[in-house]
Amino acid sequence: MATVIYTVYGVAIFFFVFWCGTWGVHLIAILYGKWKLHKKTSLPCEIPVPGVSIVKPLMGVDPNLFSNLETFFTMDYPTYELLFCVEDESDPAIMLVKRLMEKYPNVDARLFTGGGNVGVNPKINNMQPGFLAAKYELILISDSGIRMKEDTLQDMVSHLKDKVGLVHQMPFTCDRDGFAATLEKIYFGTAQARIYLSAAFLGVNCHTGMSTLIRKNIIDEVGGLQTFSGYLAEDYFIAKSLKERGWNMSISSQPAWQNSGLCEIHSFQARLTRWAKLRAAMVPHTIILEPLSECMVLGAFASWAVSFLFKWDALVFYLVHILVWFLLDWILLCIVQNGSLSFNKFDFVVGWLFRECSSPYLFLHAQWHPEIRWRGRTYRLKWGGIAEELKPKVKV
């Protein structure tokens, strides 16, 4: 009987300590975000500016693709090239790229079609020809839905100090209409930003490959992009390889502005589910830690813990926990946005509650259905992040 009581006490103490530590994560993210994000930077005039090869993998079109791509033609940076990669030669994105190349003939831009076949990762297969053709020492890998400001590339290059091998942008979203867009902005400005900023401050690998500036020789040293083609989360393993060789990473002061023209709740939740599956395969202990980082789940366990340990009112504690979490998320979102939000406070309340309440379900769904569907293909993940493509069954 005594063993059972001690075990229950131990579990309650664990949840209470974990709950206390989570507030440290909140504060780190808020303070580091306030200090780091949206700081004006510029390149020193006396040092030669390195050239940058920008690799843009494209697949399909959306209403914002043309304007997003155009921002790469109008950047304020002296020396760069644009390398557009399209796997399918009948892809309508090719027409948009050609229109922009005709509109901006003075910008060094090339188009590669057909892709390569170096592994299971379709993004790397698509980027392979562009990466091999890159002529500059710095490579910027940028997803198709990213929108650049005129000085974004300057900011990223300015962070590439000695022993910094990779500069990454924290994912965020542009202002768009609709509840789905509000939900995305709330997620990337609260839950994602909290983990991303605190991990970056603590030196934990939090890199996402939406917008990444990297020294090309670092990739070439290990055999090129194809070395990471066996993983779907190639961004994580590129950063892992870099850190293992003594290089540092730095976060840009500007977020990566996602601006997809197709914004739906279902597709957004599918992204979250896919990322949860990847994290579980790459870092298995997240299966336990990730649910506990959610407001509603952690609050429930912490409320039981304080009720058991200190005889506090569990319901009152739970409601206060949610309120304080909500307020800190609002503060962090305002810091990341760095300006007026595109929705009102009521929209934020609804979107925040929807995200927080749906998150545990999406995580459980991801673990129950481990196969990943991405870019029209289906994959199975092995422990460690290795992926294998599942071929569709042929009906006889």
Alpha-helical (H) ranges within 203-294 are 216-220, 234-244, 265-282, 286-292
Task: Say whether 235 is catalytic.
Answer: yes
Distances (CA, A) of 179 to 62, 169, 260, 350: 18, 25, 14, 9
Q: How far is CA 269 from CA 199, 279, 366, in A?
A: 23, 15, 10
Cα 68 to Cα 396: distance, rounded to the nearest angstrom: 45
> Could you give the 3-state DSSP secondary structure of residue 86?
strand
At residue 383, what are phi and psi to the nearest 5 degrees? Answer: -60, 135
Cα atoms found within 13 Å of the Cα of residue 138, Cβ hemisphere only: 24
Which residue in 235, 313, 329, 347 is the catalytic one? Answer: 235
- Give the DSSP letter string of 129-170: HHHHH--SSEEEEE-TTEE--TTHHHHHHHT--TTEEEEEPP
Q: What letters, b where the CB count within 10 A reaches 16 and e where it falls short, cover 253-270?
A: bbbbbbbbeebeeeebbe
Residue 344: exposure state from Cβ atoms within 10 A (0-12, 13-18, ≥19): exposed
Residues 206, 235: contact at Cβ < 8 Å?
no
Quick one: how many helices (H) and strands (E) in the chain?
14, 13
Query: Active-site positions?
Result: 235
